[in-house]
Structure 1
């Protein structure tokens, strides 16, 4: 190796010396006026093609060896006949000389049918030489890569899959958080709107602008139906919200209004009539039919100072 480096160095120095020598000669010729325009012209030399036929034949003869077919396993076949086109009476496929090399479909079909012909000829020859053409059921081919290498690949694939799953999970969580935040904002806005509506209803009730107390029901208020164009539910007949609120607060004491109204029977019944009571001559009043009146404010004050 050391000797090779020395030789390369010597060659390099020699080339540099030759370049310097020719450069000096050109400079001297230019100074003497020997170089003139048009003297130096690049001329393309005709390329010489070596067609050594005898040498090529000798090389082919060296390659050829008289070996049995089992050792060579080479076959040269023309493409198989297109049975489908023959059965359907279509035009036969073009031969090798008529094949258009630029047509991808024709070229690939030619290769395909040529492989078919080779298989049809090779299988009987292989069976004749007792060469198995099918893999046995208990055949295990040695892998091109070791188990350790495959384990590394497997671990790497599993790690990539786990990273992708984590990424997808994080993405879903972010979307859920965004959706949850959006829903939360909508709920807060809805509560604020309900609170605002309730406060305005309370103010209207306090000012006497309305006598409805539906805002006190809160969550018991009837929900509106979905916004799919459905009609509102028809409220059932019954007591108003004010009546319900009073019933809830004071209880149910029975009917009060109209209790002292006269009826036909009570109008005709005079058994309970008392003249003294009717004309104010007796009853709850004091002697002489006079009512005990409350003393005035000044009299009460004097009575209080006396005591």
Structure 2
């Protein structure tokens, strides 16, 4: 059994250099093999039986070309002479010369058509036939309108949510401000009472009890359950409505006065529907008509 011993004198750097040189040799060998393969490929040689008949080609070109006396409207060809040479290797100069030549040719063609009196522009009322049918275009239009409606509805919902959120924030802010204001008012009242007590203005305990407020103990304001005599529970006028318009003596006197006024104006009842009905005497009585005028067929004065 043979055991390979490594030279302890070789370092890691020497080993890395050996690996790099080995890789370079392998790459060079691969390139040489590829170049040899390329050299081995043989190109196709031109056929020896091909014929270059220049006269025949020119003859065929004359057969398919337009005759010299044909009108320009049949050919529509424009020949533009290039004023100066352009470097074919310069892309920008070459493309610029193409655009200039095309513009000149278009102008010359417009002039030729105008001189011949031929229409060459599309009429304003010309409608080309559509590739797709009307029913298909109606479907496309309906789909576009539906998409537009969905987008608008989504925007409206988003705006509503945003407005609701803003309103909620404003409401919470208002409630916080009210609570803060209430707290400040309570604190100001407490400070005022404390200053009043320190100044010795309120020495009597009864007076201090009268000035005490319900909200100082943390209780909310409560409606008093005391009932005033002669006032109904739901009466907000404090009993005045009963005095002047209710069942009291003053209310009865007022109603009686109204009744007396109506009786003096309209009577005490009875039949009034046939009061102005005509009778035999009133029908034959013409004393109320044609006063101061004699009878006859005289024309009425205007």
TM-score normalized with structure 2 length: 0.40
Which of structures 1 and 2 has the larger relative contact order (alpha carbons within 8 angstroms, sep 6+)? 1
Q: TM-score, normalised by structure 1?
A: 0.40
